[in-house]
């Protein structure tokens, strides 16, 4: 066991002497958690609308004001010609064109029916769908108002409507960071674990010090433990800094569930992640190779994990890929424990899957790690 | 002469695909001897040394090092040897003392022994002022002397040196050889590869490798006599002239 303590002392000395690693351990969770949730916010705001008003009536102006009053829209221009607005559309200055035809008000009053034309710039698919949905809602609201004040006399024949009352559970104010921050923290811990662990070992290969280690009677498993334990500790530290530091102070996220359970899952996840780092290092001779391989894998792990897009809306093959990805499970665990307060009973299958990954990656890496050529 | 044999190889061969790095080499090394392993770049010296250290497995042939079999008892070999590679391989981001403690520690030296040994080592090398400096900041010659001293810290039976004096100035090289003689006097067998022919003269016996084969094995004096040469340089040219491989 004293061999292990010599190995650990050496690793920690080297890590604390390396300013860039130290900077990464401290600055990365803070900066990433402060910046990324803002960028990864899927709430669509500031949709630019061009309004082409051929009618210039009270109603057309009322509708325009209603749109302008909404927090989601910015009236980009208000003109009388579709061509002028189309110009704006083409240069990407506006996302939606709403054309109000001539006699809009007249038709509405006399014929009880009028139509509007909506053109959607669909380059950004999300913005297009969400934008046109918001706008349709505003228009139907406007429509309802008119019906009440103009068409329907009293309560005579009120159209039957179903009123929906909804309540948001677990994140009552639909606060976006509540959903994203725990997930981003997982991505962060994944990166720290995979990169640091693989690069550290491959660096020893590149510099040649590993050869010096390989001629000593050190047992393979002790050397590997000596490499994994320090990064396991660093992973715990980064996570704690992110969760109890940034997430709590900057976003007011308080863990709903059991903190010990959360850390138990984190420890397990870190073992799996470090196993991936170790595995990468056994397949790479240079830090450049390790970096490229780690980058490739992390990209897939994070994009396929349900961090940004729900796994349920992926095609079937992608759902299978997400199931083969340890990050998926820990992101779910995080969201469930942090936001919902789930207990171990709810997370049994996650526990089994993550244990499986930890065993798989580490035994694969250990089998592939060679002291001799 | 019935001296104790510490390294014994029998038709030891390592192939990389079609390339035969060492071709059926057979030799014996005696205890306390300084055994020079000479050859041009690419002759197969490093491969041979890696097999003997348990870093590489031979394709066929046998070898025992300090009584341990090279196929089945590599961990036994590793306890009884020291190794210094071509590449400098102490930790540059650890201090002199930390490197000594680390390598001594993983060979299982007791704390007290380790402390005594490191003090003595630092004194012998005259590194008192540098003891707490990072190894990366030392000049190459000092690094090499330190690496050698660390390699024999645990008093191995045999120490393998792979071109230990590459890029080192003549004065430091001389000092380095003083350290080698010291170790040899203490009974440590020194197995050294080099392509400095003046260093070859310092060895008790030398082998010449050409294209993976051993072309000669004897004392420097006898080799010079055999080839009628005044220096080892000429012996080397005589033997290495026919070499087909040149790249390392």
pLDDT category at B2 given cuts 50, 70, 90 is: low
- Domain boundaries defined on chain A: 2-40+172-368, 47-151
pLDDT exceeds cutoff 70 at B1: no
Of A186, A191, A368, A197, residue with least CA distance to A296? A191
Q: What is the pLDDT of residues A48-100, one digit of tens each?
A: 889 999 888 888 888 899 888 888 888 888 888 888 888 888 888 888 888 98
Strands B213-218 and B205-210, sheet pairing: antiparallel
Give the pLDDT band of residue A159 (cuts 50, 70, 90).
low
Share of chain B above pLDDT 90, in %: 57
Domains and CATH numbers, chain B: 5-240 (3.40.50.300)
Q: Which residues of B touch A14 (CB under 8 A)?
A: 91, 93-94
Give the percent of chain A with pLDDT over 70: 94
Does the beta carbon of B166 lie under 8 angstroms from any beta carbon of chain A? Answer: no
Q: pLDDT tens digits for A210-226?
A: 999 999 999 888 999 99
Contact (CB, 8 A) for B22 and B47:
yes
Choice between A244 and A1, residue whose per-residue pLDDT is larger: A244
CATH class in words for A47-151:
alpha beta
Query: Considering CB atoms only, which of A14, A209, A218 is closest to B106?
Result: A218
For residue A6, what pLDDT is reported? Answer: 93
Q: Any idea which of A9-23, A38-52, A321-335 has the lowest mean pLDDT? A: A38-52
Q: Does B45 touch chain A (CB under 8 A)?
A: no
The pLDDT confidence band at residue B246, using thresholds 50, 70 and 90, is low
pLDDT at A153 over 60: no
> Is A140 buried (19+), middle (13-18) or exposed (0-12) by CB count in 10 A?
exposed
Whether residue A353 has pLDDT greater than 60: yes
- State pLDDT tens for residues A165-210: 778 787 777 777 888 899 999 999 999 999 999 999 999 999 989 9
Please, what is the average pLDDT of chain B?
89
Instruction: Indicate if the pLDDT at residue B133 is higher than 90.
Output: yes
Size of interface A-B (CB pairs under 8 A): 75
Q: Choosing among A18, A210, A216, which should be mutated to test the B contact, i.e. which has the most B CBs within 10 A?
A: A216
Q: How far apart are CA A143 and CA A137, in angstroms?
A: 10
Query: Does the CB of B224 have a partner CB in chain A at under 8 Å?
Result: no
With CA atoms as reference, the chain A residue closest to B55 would be A372
Which of B53, B79, B89 would you mutate first to test chain A, the one with the most A CBs within 10 A?
B89
Q: Which residue of B has its CA nearest to A205?
A: B89
A86-145 per-position pLDDT tens digit: 888 888 888 888 898 888 888 887 887 888 888 888 888 778 888 888 888 888 888 878
Flag if A14 and B90 touch (Cβ within 8 Å): no
Mean pLDDT of B13-29: 90
Q: Is residue A308's pLDDT more than 60?
A: yes
Are A6 and B106 an interchain contact pair (Cβ–Cβ within 8 Å)?
A: yes
Residue A273 confidence (pLDDT): 96
Tokens of B84: 């210094």
The pLDDT, as a whole number, for residue A165 is 78
pTM of the model: 0.82
Q: Do B94 and A215 touch (CB under 8 A)?
A: no
B213 strand-pairing partners: B210
- A2-17 and A220-240 helices cross at what angle (nearest 10)? 50
Predicted pLDDT of residue A171 = 77
ipTM above 0.90, yes or no: no
Mark yes or no for CB contact A217/B88 under 8 Å. Answer: no
| Confidence bin at A150 (pLDDT 50/70/90) | low
Residues of chain A with Cβ-Cβ distance to B81 below 8 Å are 215
pLDDT band for B247, please (50, 70, 90 cuts): very low
Q: Does B74 touch chain A (CB under 8 A)?
A: yes
Residue of A nearest to B52 (CA): A215
Q: Which residues of A touch B (CB under 8 A)?
A: 2-3, 6-7, 9-10, 13-14, 17-18, 207-209, 211-218, 371-373
Tell whether B79 is within 8 A of chain A (Cβ): yes
The pLDDT of residue A372 is above 80? no
pLDDT reported for residue A91:
85
- Supply A45's token pair: 């705001």
The single-letter DSSP state of residue B134 is B
A371–B55 C-beta distance less than 8 A: yes
Q: How far is B96 from chain A (nearest CA, A)?
A: 13
Determine if residue A207 is left, alpha or beta; phi over 0 gives left, psi from -120 to 50 gives alpha, anything else beta: alpha
Rounded distance, CA B211 to CA A133, Å?
78
Q: Name the minimum distance, in Å, from the CA of B93 to any CA of chain A.
A: 6
- Cα dihedral A76/A81/A87/A88 (nearest 10): 0
For residues B170-178, average pLDDT: 91
pLDDT score of B248: 45
pLDDT, tens digit, for every residue of B55-113? 889 999 999 999 999 999 988 999 999 999 888 889 999 999 999 999 999 998 888 99
Q: What are phi and psi of A117, to 5 degrees?
A: -115, 130
């Amino acid at each position: 066991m004293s061999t292990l303590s010599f190995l650990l002392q050496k690793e920690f000395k080297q890590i604390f002497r390396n300013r860039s690693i130290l900077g990464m351990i401290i600055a990365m969770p803070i900066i990433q958690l402060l910046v990324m949730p803002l960028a990864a916010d899927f709430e669509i705001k500031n949709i630019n609308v061009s309004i082409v008003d051929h009618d210039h009536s009270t109603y057309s102006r009322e509708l325009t004001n209603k749109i302008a009053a909404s927090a989601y829209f910015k009236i980009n221009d208000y003109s009388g010609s579709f061509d002028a607005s189309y110009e704006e559309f083409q240069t990407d200055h506006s996302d939606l064109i709403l054309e109000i035809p001539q006699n809009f008000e007249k038709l509405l009053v006399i014929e009880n029916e009028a139509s509007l034309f909506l053109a959607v710039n669909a380059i950004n698919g999300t913005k297009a769908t969400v934008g046109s949905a918001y706008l349709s809602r505003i228009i139907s609201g406007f429509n309802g108002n008119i019906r009440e004040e103009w068409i329907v006399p009293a309560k005579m024949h009120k159209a039957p409507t179903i009123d929906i009352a909804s309540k948001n559970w677990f994140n009552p104010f639909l606060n976006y960071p509540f959903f994203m921050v725990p997930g981003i923290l997982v991505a962060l811990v994944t990166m720290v674990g995979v990169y640091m662990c693989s690069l550290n070992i491959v660096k020893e290969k590149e510099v040649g010090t590993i050869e010096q280690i390989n001629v000593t009677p050190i047992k393979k498993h002790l050397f590997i433990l000596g490499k994994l334990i320090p990064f396991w500790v660093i992973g715990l530290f980064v996570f704690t800094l992110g969760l109890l530091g940034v997430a709590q102070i900057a976003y007011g996220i308080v863990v709903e569930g059991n903190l010990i359970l959360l850390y138990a899952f984190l420890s397990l996840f870190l073992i799996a992640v470090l196993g991936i780092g170790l595995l990468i290092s056994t397949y790479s001779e240079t830090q450049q190779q390790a970096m490229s391989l780690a980058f490739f894998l992390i990209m897939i792990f994070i994009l396929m994990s349900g961090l940004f897009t729900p796994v349920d809306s992926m095609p079937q093959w992608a759902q299978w890929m997400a199931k083969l990805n340890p990050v998926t499970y820990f992101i779910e665990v995080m969201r469930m424990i942090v936001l919902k307060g789930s207990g171990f009973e709810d997370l049994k299958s996650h526990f089994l899957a993550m244990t499986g990954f930890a065993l798989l990656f580490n035994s694969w890496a250990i089998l592939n790690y060679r002291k001799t050529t | 002469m019935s001296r104790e044999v510490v390294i014994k190889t029998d038709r030891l061969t390592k192939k990389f695909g079609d390339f035969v790095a060492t071709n059926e080499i057979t030799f014996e090394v005696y205890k306390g001897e300084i055994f020079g392993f000479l050859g041009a770049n690419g002759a197969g010296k490093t491969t041979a040394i890696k097999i003997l250290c348990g870093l590489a497995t031979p394709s066929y042939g046998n070898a025992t090092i300090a009584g341990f079999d090279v196929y089945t008892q590599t961990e036994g070999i590793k306890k009884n040897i020291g190794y210094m590679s071509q590449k400098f391989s102490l930790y540059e981001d650890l201090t002199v003392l930390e490197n000594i403690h680390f390598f001594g520690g993983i060979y299982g030296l007791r704390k007290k022994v380790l402390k005594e040994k490191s003090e003595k080592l630092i004194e012998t090398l005259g590194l008192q002022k540098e003891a707490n400096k990072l190894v990366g900041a030392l000049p190459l010659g000092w690094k090499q002397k330190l690496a050698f001293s660390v390699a024999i810290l645990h008093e191995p039976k045999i120490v393998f040196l792979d071109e230990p004096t590459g890029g080192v100035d003549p004065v430091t090289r001389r000092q380095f050889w003083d350290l080698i003689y010291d170790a040899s006097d203490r009974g440590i067998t020194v197995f050294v590869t080099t392509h400095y022919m003046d260093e070859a003269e310092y060895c008790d016996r030398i082998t010449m490798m050409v294209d993976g084969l051993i072309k000669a094995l004897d004392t420097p004096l006898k080799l010079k006599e055999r080839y009628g040469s005044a220096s080892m340089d000429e012996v080397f040219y005589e033997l290495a002239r026919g070499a087909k491989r040149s790249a390392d």
